[in-house]
Amino acid sequence: MSLSPLRLLLATSLALVVLRTASASGDDHDDDHDDHEEDENFPLEYKWAAAIVTGVILSVNSLIGAFLLQFIGKGAIGAVLQFALVVLSISVMVSDSLMHIYPHAVEGAPHSQVTFLGITAFVGCLAVLLFSQLLHSFHSHPKKHPPAPAPDRTPATVMMFTVVPPDDGDTCEEKKEEGNNAGADAHGGDVEKSGKKGGFDWRSVESYGWAALAGDVVCNFVDGIAVGVSWYVGWFVGLVTSIAILAHEIPQEMSDYAVLRLSGLSNCLVIAVNITASTTSLIGIAVGLGFSTVLESAVEDFERYCLAFTCGAWLTIALFLLTPIALKLYGELTMLKKEGEQEQQGVTIEKWMAILVAVTMMAIALGLMAGIGVLEETAHEHEDNGHEGHDH
């Protein structure tokens, strides 16, 4: 009997702890419910305005690669920079595909749909391969009029910031228009007529450039759908998702700029096609936000298949089309010293410097993708908490 007061005290303390825990849980539940109600009370016109502003920022963001790279030096620095950007492009495409794009595609999908998503990713791989081969065969067809000198096919032109030597031994500046205008004078009036429209031979562009551009169009469209759906869910999810997409687009646009310049497009044309491709994000925003009010599940399924297709396309572009270019640039970069006076010492130093640059670019890509993953996890947690609070 002497222990009964102690038992009573322990039982009372335990009851107080349980009540306090339940009260705290109820407060958290109320906070989540209030946050979700606040998201639901976010006016639809404000959602459209925020989504459109995000789309405009994404479109302007396409200029960041050209803007930043104009301040980089020429010569050997330009060669190292181009090698670094190609490696960064490969690393971003592979890490983004495996860490974000495909996981988002299969997240929450039933097992039967996961199989079809894998097939869609495989179709994306095949589509890029067939597309690049068709363009390659188109380039190999004989033409009535020889195209303008294509300096991008010569080994020295892998450096897009250096002086480009044409086939005849003369030198010209990096802008492709000047080389094409010179080609117009050499090949007569027909090419000169086409020069009135810009004087650029689109057939001289490498196939991987068009494949990368097509993948960028699909990716921007999917990003637009994600932005539209996220702003439909609520302001916090929309804001965090927009920040994550913008953070992802900065290295992607820089690498896209490097790949498109390497494929043979001039600086002005790269800017023009990048802006045109980025406008597809506005179409995606209209699709995502517009159809979310009516067919939210259909938009989600459509986004899944677009993401799976983009994953397969990017993996093929990075591993099949860009990796040989990176290896070629690596070989040329490590052999730069061979033409100088110090042959044996320069090769080893350049080789280790190139390896260091490649490893650094890979680490930067992985770090960026990991940071974006943290932002996306925060958005998903807020979205899940909001829906749970709403259900209760």
Q: What is the CA radius of gyration of the chain?
A: 27
Distance CA 39, CA 199 (A): 52
**pLDDT of res. 256:** 76
Which DSSP helix (H) or strand (E) runs through 203? Answer: none
Task: Confirm whether pTM is higher than 0.75.
Answer: no
Q: Write phi, then psi, for 121 (nearest 5 degrees).
A: -65, -40
Largest CA distance in the chain: 115
**pLDDT of res. 259:** 78
**pLDDT of res. 8:** 40
SS3 assignment, position 172: strand
**One-letter identity of residue 71:** F
**pLDDT of res. 179:** 41
**pLDDT of res. 122:** 94
Residue 164 β-bridge partners: 172
pLDDT tens track for 296-308: 667 778 778 888 8
**pLDDT of res. 4:** 47
Closest CA to 188 of 145, 142, 144, 141: 145
CA distances from 113 to 97, 99, 118, 120 (A): 19, 19, 9, 10
Distance CA 366, CA 305 (A): 25
**Tokens standing for 186?**
């050499």
Contacts of 252 (CB under 8 A, 6+ apart): 92, 96, 216, 219
Query: Which residue numbers in the chain have pLDDT < 70?
Result: 1-42, 65-66, 68-75, 135-201, 203, 244, 247-248, 251, 293, 296-297, 336-348, 379-392
**pLDDT of res. 22:** 44
**pLDDT of res. 182:** 39
Task: Tell me the domain boundaries of the chain.
Answer: 38-141+209-391, 148-200
Residue with tokens 């196939």: 207
**pLDDT of res. 362:** 92
